[in-house]
Amino acid sequence: MEKRNLINFVASWFIILLGAIVLVLPIFNITNIRLIFIVMITIYGLVNVIKNLVLLEFKEYSSFSKGISCILILLALLFVDINDSPWNLALLLFIWVILMSLTKLKEADYYHDRKNKLWLFNIVCLIVFILTGILATINLYCAGDIQILILGFFFVIIGILDVMEPLVNHLLGKK
């Protein structure tokens, strides 16, 4: 597996691990949704920025764009209190899904311009990501522990979608 695929693979497993950790937090009565959401978005953004810095030689900036979208959501969290209303959390998550979808669409366009077959896979992953984001956003109108579970499952699915891309890229490269 080449360096770019390996780094994307490891970073994606880290995101799956983050989602799995969040899934067990309600067991330990850790239900501060604001803190958990801030930590999740911060870690996701940091992972993508670090991934971008490591992969600078490949001139691929989609991870940097994902990091910027996380920073924008963190800035919005300074002005919006998500503990008061689940609408605020749903709105911020929906905005983040939109920003991430634009980045994923640009990435698919990049592969399409290079006549790489991975563009079709990225479009399918984009559609699954958008549907998962909408479902997560719709279901955030429950108690705090349920919100945490929904966010945990959402990040596990994001990680799984991100893990599949380097695997498919590796398999397509072997042909």
CB 165 within 8 A of CB 125: yes
What span, in angstroms and rounded, lies between the C-alpha atoms of 35 and 43?
12
Q: At what angle do helices 33-54 and 3-24 cross, to 10 degrees?
A: 170
Q: What is the pLDDT of residue 77?
A: 92
pLDDT in tens, 86-109: 889 999 999 999 999 999 999 899
pLDDT in tens, 43-56: 999 999 999 898 88
In the chain, where the domains are located: 3-170
pLDDT in tens, 2-16: 888 899 899 999 999
Counting Cβ atoms within 10 Å, is residue 81 exposed (0-12), middle (13-18) or buried (19+)?
A: exposed
Q: What is the pLDDT of residue 104?
A: 93
pTM: 0.91
Question: Hunting for tokens 């001139």 — which residue is that?
Answer: 59
* Residue 84 dihedral angles phi and psi, to the nearest 5°: -70, -40
Q: What is the pLDDT of residue 174?
A: 62
